[in-house]
Amino acid sequence: MTNAFYEIEIDPETSLPIRIKVTALTGRKGKTRRKGNKIIGGEHAAFHFEYKLSEFGKVEAPKIPRNAQKVLAKLK
Amino acid sequence: MRSLFTRILLPVALMTACTGLLFAGDSSKKKIPSPYSQLAKAAKNLSKIKGFKTTLTVQGGLSNTKDHKIHQFAVKESYQGDIYKGLIHISAAESYKTPRKGVRFFEGAWRNIYSDPQGRKLQTFFNFPQEVLKRALRHAKRSGRWLDAEQAAAEANPAKPAEEIELDESGRTVVSKKRLPGKEAEAIMPTIMLVETPTREALDHYLTVEKSGCLGGG
C-alpha cells in the first residue's frame, strides 16, 4: 500500500508558493495501521521532500565553467 | 393606488433589501477561493520568475506515528540551490543540473552527475519546484483541500467577544459587537493546502526513492 500527498503553502500577498512538501508512504504487511486506503500509523516507510522557496527574482544567471558546459552539452 | 404601494410593494422592497444584507454579511465565506485556482495561480506566478533560491530537505526512513515522523533514518539530506530558468546550481555540491541531466565536479574534473552516488541522489531528489507544482496541480481539482480553511474563516468572521457592555438608561445591558470591515475579512485567506495523489503516483514517488539507492537495498 502506498500513499503520497503534497502540502503547499502559498504566500497570500504574492500568491507565490513558499513551501512545497511531498510525502510518500509505503505500508508494511501486518505492521501498518490503515483506515481505508490511508496509512494512519503503525510501522511504515516515509519519505519527506520539503522545498522552501525564497528570494524571488533576486537570483541571477549562474556562470557555468567552460568545462562543465562542455560535459553538460555532451550528455543526452 | 397608494395603499397598494404601502401594503405590498413596500414590504417586498424591504424584504429584498434585508435578504441582500443577509447574504452580504455571509460574503466572507464565499471569498475563500478553491485550492485548485490558488495553486494554478501560484504555479503561473512562479513560472514568470526567472530566478529564486530553494532549500530542499529530504528525510526518509521508518515511522510509526500518525504524523509520519521518522524515527529510523535511511536518508537525511539538505541541499541549497539557486534556480535560474531551467538550471539549478548547487554550489556546495559543485553541481549544475537541468530537469534531465547534470554535471558535478569530483575527483578533479566535471563529470556526469550520475557518475557517483552523491550526484545520483542529488539528481533524483532535487526536482524543479515548478515541476513539483505541475504534478500537484494535476490532482488538485479532485483532491485539493485547505488545511487551514477553518482557522482562516474563524479569523475572518470570529465569534467576537462583546466589544462594549454597558447599562442603558432603563438599566438593561447593551452589548455591541463590531464586525470586521469587508477588506480586512477579504485579506484573511487560507494559505496551506493538501493535495492527495492517486496510488499509482504514490508508487512512482516511492520507486524513485528506491532507485536512488538510498535505501541500501533494504
pLDDT tens-digit series, residues B24-41 = 444 445 578 999 999 999
Q: What is the Cα–Cα distance from B87 to B98, expressed in whole angstroms?
A: 5
- Model pTM score: 0.79
Q: What is the Cα–Cα distance from A38 to B143, expressed in whole angstroms?
A: 14
Average pLDDT (A8-37) is 95
pLDDT tens-digit series, residues A28-60 = 999 999 999 899 999 999 999 999 999 999 999
* Cell numbers standing for residue B47: 513560472
**Cβ neighbours for B1, distance < 8 A, ≥ 6 positions apart:** none
**DSSP β-ladder status, B70-84 and A2-11:** unpaired
Contact criterion met (CB < 8 Å) for A71 and B112: yes
* CA of A22 vs chain B CAs: smallest distance (Å): 8
ipTM: 0.94
Instruction: Please tell me which residue of chain A has the smallest CA distance to B79.
Output: A51
CA quadruple B200, B201, B202, B205: dihedral, nearest 10: 130
The answer on pLDDT for B141 being more than 90 is yes
- Mutation pick from B116, B121, B205, B215 vs chain A, by most beta carbons of A within 10 Å, is B205
**DSSP β-ladder status, B192-196 and A16-35:** unpaired
Contact of B152 with chain A, judged by CB distance below 8 Å, is answered with no
C-alpha separations of B115 from B101, B132, B207 in Å: 11, 25, 20
Contact criterion met (CB < 8 Å) for A16 and B45: yes
CA quadruple B153, B157, B158, B163: dihedral, nearest 10: 160
Contact criterion met (CB < 8 Å) for A22 and B65: no
Contact criterion met (CB < 8 Å) for B203 and A2: yes
Q: What is the Cα–Cα distance from B198 to B138, expressed in whole angstroms?
A: 10
* Cell numbers standing for residue A25: 508512504
C-alpha separations of A47 from A74, B63, B134, B161, B199 in Å: 33, 9, 20, 44, 15
pLDDT tens-digit series, residues B33-82 = 999 999 999 999 999 999 999 999 999 999 999 999 999 999 999 999 99
Contact criterion met (CB < 8 Å) for A8 and B125: no
Instruction: Please tell me which residue of chain B has the smallest CA distance to A67.
Output: B110
**Cβ neighbours for A58, distance < 8 A, ≥ 6 positions apart:** B51, B52, B53
Pinpoint the alpha helices (H) of B49-166: 117-125, 129-143, 149-156
- Mutation pick from A11, A19, A37, A59 vs chain B, by most beta carbons of B within 10 Å, is A59
Q: Are A5 and B206 in contact (CB under 8 A)?
A: no
Contact criterion met (CB < 8 Å) for B110 and A70: yes
Give the pLDDT score at A27. 93
Contact of B118 with chain A, judged by CB distance below 8 Å, is answered with no
Contact of A73 with chain B, judged by CB distance below 8 Å, is answered with no
Query: Which residues does chain B have within 8 Å of residue A17's beta carbon, measured at their own beta carbons?
Result: 42-43, 46, 129, 133
What's the first-to-final CA gap in chain A, in angstroms?
35
Contact criterion met (CB < 8 Å) for A75 and B129: no
**Between B74 and B169, where is the model more confident?**
B74
Q: Are B3 and B163 in contact (CB under 8 A)?
A: no
